[in-house]
Amino acid sequence: EEMGDTFRRGLLRAAGVRDDTLNLSQKLGGDRPTVLRVVVELSAVLTDLNLTSNYIGNDGAVAIAEALKSGKAVLTSLNLYDNKIGAEGAKALAEALGSGKAVLTNLDLSYNELRAQGAKAIAEALKSGRAVLKNLDLPQNSIGAEGAKALAEALGSGMAVLTSLSLAANNLTNY
């Protein structure tokens, strides 16, 4: 058991994990499905994961969502900035947030393609009362007034514990 723990810590150190944090910003390459499986496995030991600009898309978001709702993930901070995630990926992440098993408190989904449908899914998770998310960044997702309204309603429900929400550059006004 002791040798296994030493080996595990050595692997994490070799992978670039510092404390419980891994920054893979613009670093994922190779066989995408394999890399994403490794990232999902690491979610059981990492509290902070940065996957900025890796273009994981909906498939990657779904894989991460599955890990979050498994009850094994200890991730509290997840940065998915600029990853070409659309409404499908947002819906999967929202389902994980609303499952009551995700411990995620910080989520950055800036510069993706969530649109109103993705924002609405996240709003439903916030209204569930099971999401523990406190900080949510959604700039540049084209959520429009419809998505913003859904988020506002979620915050007004009294069930959301969100304390910080960024919606910059989302076409929130009608011209």
Model confidence pLDDT, tens digit, residues 13-47: 666 677 788 888 888 877 777 777 778 888 888 89
Residue with tokens 């947002």: 90
Q: What is the pLDDT of residues 56-103, one digit of tens each?
A: 999 999 999 999 999 999 999 999 999 999 999 999 999 999 999 999
Burial of 77 per CB tally in 10 Å (0-12, 13-18, 19+)? middle
Quote the CA–CA distance of 82 and 55 in Å, as a whole number: 7
Ranges assigned E (strand) in the chain: 21-23, 48-50, 77-79, 106-108, 135-137, 164-166
Residue 50 has phi, psi (to 5 degrees) of -110, 115
pLDDT at 4 over 80: no
Q: What is the pLDDT of residues 113-147, one digit of tens each?
A: 999 999 999 999 999 999 999 999 999 999 999 99
pLDDT at position 1:
46
pLDDT at position 160:
95
User: Residues near 95 by Cβ (< 8 Å), separated by ≥ 6?
Assistant: 65, 69, 121, 125
